[in-house]
């Protein structure tokens, strides 16, 4: 699943959600490209979310917490429920570019 692909965020945003009932884990790679030097950083937390009805969402583990620098990482996380999404929680309206890609197994 491609949760975010170079999305420029200025507000809290939920990614596209994907059906995952046939899978147990996701190898999640994320990249955070923080704001330009002339703007304050947009502290960002990325959290996995799960849902059985794709309406009500439950937070899973934080993938990145209080990020303030350009970064990339690849980690494996458990999947639950029918749908999986990534929620980006930002602290201001300065642009931050997010990419989150997964491989489900």
The CA–CA distances, whole Å, from 90 to 55, 78, 79, 84 equal 21, 24, 24, 20
Q: Are 34 and 42 in contact (CB under 8 A)?
A: yes
CA dist list (Å): 55 to 17, 61, 85: 10, 19, 11
- Could you tell me the pTM of the whole model? 0.95
CA distance 96 to 68: 10
Mean of pLDDT over the chain: 96
- Of the listed ranges 1-5, 33-37, 69-73, 99-103, the one predicted with least confidence: 33-37
């Amino acid at each position: 699943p491609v949760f975010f692909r170079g999305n420029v965020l200025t507000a809290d945003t939920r990614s596209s959600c994907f059906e995952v009932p046939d899978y147990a884990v996701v190898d999640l790679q994320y990249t955070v490209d923080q704001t330009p030097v002339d703007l304050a950083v947009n502290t960002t937390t990325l959290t996995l979310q799960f849902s059985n009805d794709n309406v009500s969402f439950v937070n899973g583990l934080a993938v990145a917490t209080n990020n303030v620098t350009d970064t990339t990482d690849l980690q494996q996380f458990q999947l639950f429920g029918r749908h999986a999404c990534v929620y980006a929680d930002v602290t201001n309206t300065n642009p931050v570019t997010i990419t989150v890609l997964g491989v489900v197994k």
